[in-house]
Chain A
């Protein structure tokens, strides 16, 4: 049973554009939602995270939007750059610090 559904599976965005990746969850016990960025041959790196008592969190060009009633959250990458080309994973933590990951989104930012 996939508890965190992520879409799209892949995404191509032009340089300077906005990349949007969406995730949905079912388990209302989830209380921490991080996003990870992974480059080929590397481990996932924590990008930004949000808790359900906040509707939006921004760090630089990266913003998480959170909709608790819809049980959805999304990552927006503003002014996308070729260096942002990577695989992005959303995740959810049920309070025991064990992460459930989405399937990932391969982002390609074209120059």
Chain B
């Protein structure tokens, strides 16, 4: 168990809808990262937050947004969902270089 928690574990929704994925980092970790894992694209970095501030952006679509709250938990918001957004979404946290991943949220868009 990495100490990173993610909810929900599974999410099934329809195209055009909006969902929110939640992540609680390990105790004491200030950095939170979001990754998308799909069969064709592999594991791709989406966005990083450090102590509430956006620090780095990767291949994140404009329809996606994230934030980190004062208690350091983070939420990833996905809107106007498309079939191609179906994937595993992982959150990771770190205090330094080592990133620890949560169990992921499997999103299915029908």
A positions within 8 Å CB-CB of B? 32, 34, 36, 42-46, 49, 89, 93, 96-104
Q: Which of B4, B48, B102, B103 contacts A97 (CB 8 A)?
A: B48
Q: Which of A43, A46, A98, A101 contacts B98 (CB 8 A)?
A: A46
Given contacts A97-B48, A98-B48, contact A42 B43 (CB under 8 A): no
Pull 20 A–B residue pairs with CB atoms less than 8 Å apart, ordered by A: A34-B99, A42-B104, A43-B2, A43-B4, A43-B92, A43-B103, A44-B43, A44-B101, A46-B100, A89-B43, A93-B97, A97-B33, A97-B48, A97-B55, A97-B56, A97-B97, A98-B45, A98-B56, A103-B42, A104-B42
- Report if B68 contacts A (CB, 8 A): no
Q: Which residue of A lies closest to B102 (CB)?
A: A43
Tell me how many residues of B have a C-beta within 8 Å of chain A: 24
B positions within 8 Å CB-CB of A? 2, 4, 31, 33, 35, 42-45, 48, 55-56, 58, 90, 92, 94, 97-104
Most buried by B among A44, A89, A100, A103: A44
Q: Which residues of A contact B102 (CB under 8 A)?
A: 43
Q: Which residue of A lies closest to B50 (CB)?
A: A97
With the chains together, A93 CA to B98 CA distance in Å? 10
* B97 lies within 8 A of A101 (CB): no
Q: Which residue of A lies closest to B42 (CB)?
A: A103
* A101 lies within 8 A of B99 (CB): no
Q: Which of A45, A49, A93, A104 contacts B101 (CB 8 A)?
A: A45
CB distance from B90 to the nearest CB of A (A): 5
Most buried by A among B4, B45, B94: B45
Known: A43-B104, A98-B33, A99-B43. 9 other contacts (CB 8 A): A32-B97, A44-B43, A96-B55, A97-B97, A98-B56, A98-B58, A99-B45, A99-B99, A101-B44
